[in-house]
């Protein structure tokens, strides 16, 4: 059932939950112009008509919030359109809200956006192109616009120490490639596991959307910690094998 039809049917029995355009814009913090633009692009369904007036339901709210979340992650309009097109037509507001939850950052500390000048003042050093490139390869900074970077403050001192120790930029680039390739594979497999085992189990048990969102939020730090632990164990095992080979044991 299309989202606009489902919203209209629910709205016929729950008129008190419907929002005017003004109420909708206040709820999601978006301008009237943007709401109408996203509606014209098919990212949200048309308003529910009651005579000459248009109203909006929870479907509209969660879809607009999803668009905002995708924008915050740097998705282009074309990418957002493709993502929204992949959402089943009969997806409930709860399903869409959960999709938004899964988009939220998984790192404990969100990066802080800085200009190059601000970053130089914070680090008390001049940061030329190669230096910035090494910090980016190490995952300490990432581009956030012209002369601006998103900075992982908790990792900044580590990155600066590696620079001072002469860490080879080529090694940083090669390591970054390894992290990207294997990180993507891990993320895809964990996401598939969540969608095929975790999410269905909670939905079948009748758990509320709030409960499922709470589970996801608690899984994030646990998943990161588990990955770090697995990495440390694997590195220790690899190092022992290398030592054994070099000593002939």
| CATH class of the region 3-103 | mainly alpha
pLDDT in tens, 187-225: 888 878 887 888 788 878 877 767 777 777 777 777 778
pTM of this prediction exceeds 0.75: no
pLDDT in tens, 100-156: 777 766 555 678 899 999 999 999 999 999 899 999 988 899 888 888 999 988 889
Q: Which two tokens stand for residue 153?
A: 């403050």
Checking if the pLDDT of 39 tops 90, the result is yes
The per-residue pLDDT for 241 is 83
Q: What is the pLDDT of residues 153-181, one digit of tens each?
A: 888 998 999 989 988 888 888 888 888 88
User: Any idea where the domains of the chain sit in the sequence?
Assistant: 3-103, 112-167, 171-247
């Amino acid at each position: 059932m299309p989202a606009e039809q489902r919203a209209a049917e629910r709205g016929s029995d729950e008129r008190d939950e419907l929002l005017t355009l003004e109420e909708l814009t206040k709820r999601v913090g978006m301008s009237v112009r943007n709401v109408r633009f996203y509606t014209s692009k098919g990212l949200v369904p048309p308003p529910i008509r009651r005579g000459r007036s248009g109203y909006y339901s929870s479907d509209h709210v969660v879809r607009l919030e999803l668009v905002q979340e995708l924008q915050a992650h740097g998705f282009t309009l074309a990418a957002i359109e493709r993502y929204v097109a992949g959402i089943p037509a009969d997806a409930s507001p709860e399903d869409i809200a959960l999709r938004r939850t899964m988009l939220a950052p998984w790192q404990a500390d969100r990066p802080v956006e800085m200009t190059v000048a601000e970053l130089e003042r914070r680090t008390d050093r001049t940061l030329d192109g190669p230096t910035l490139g090494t910090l980016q390869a190490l995952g300490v900074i990432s581009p956030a616009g012209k002369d601006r970077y998103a900075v992982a403050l908790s990792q900044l001192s580590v990155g600066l120490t590696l620079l001072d120790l002469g860490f080879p930029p080529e090694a940083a680039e090669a390591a970054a490639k390894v992290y990207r390739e294997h990180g993507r594979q891990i993320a895809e497999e964990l996401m598939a596991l969540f969608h095929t085992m975790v999410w269905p189990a909670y939905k079948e048990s009748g758990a509320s959307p709030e409960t499922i969102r709470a589970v996801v939020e608690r899984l994030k730090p646990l998943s990161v910690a588990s990955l770090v632990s697995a990495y440390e164990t694997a590195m220790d095992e690899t190092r022992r094998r290398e030592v054994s080979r070099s000593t002939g044991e």
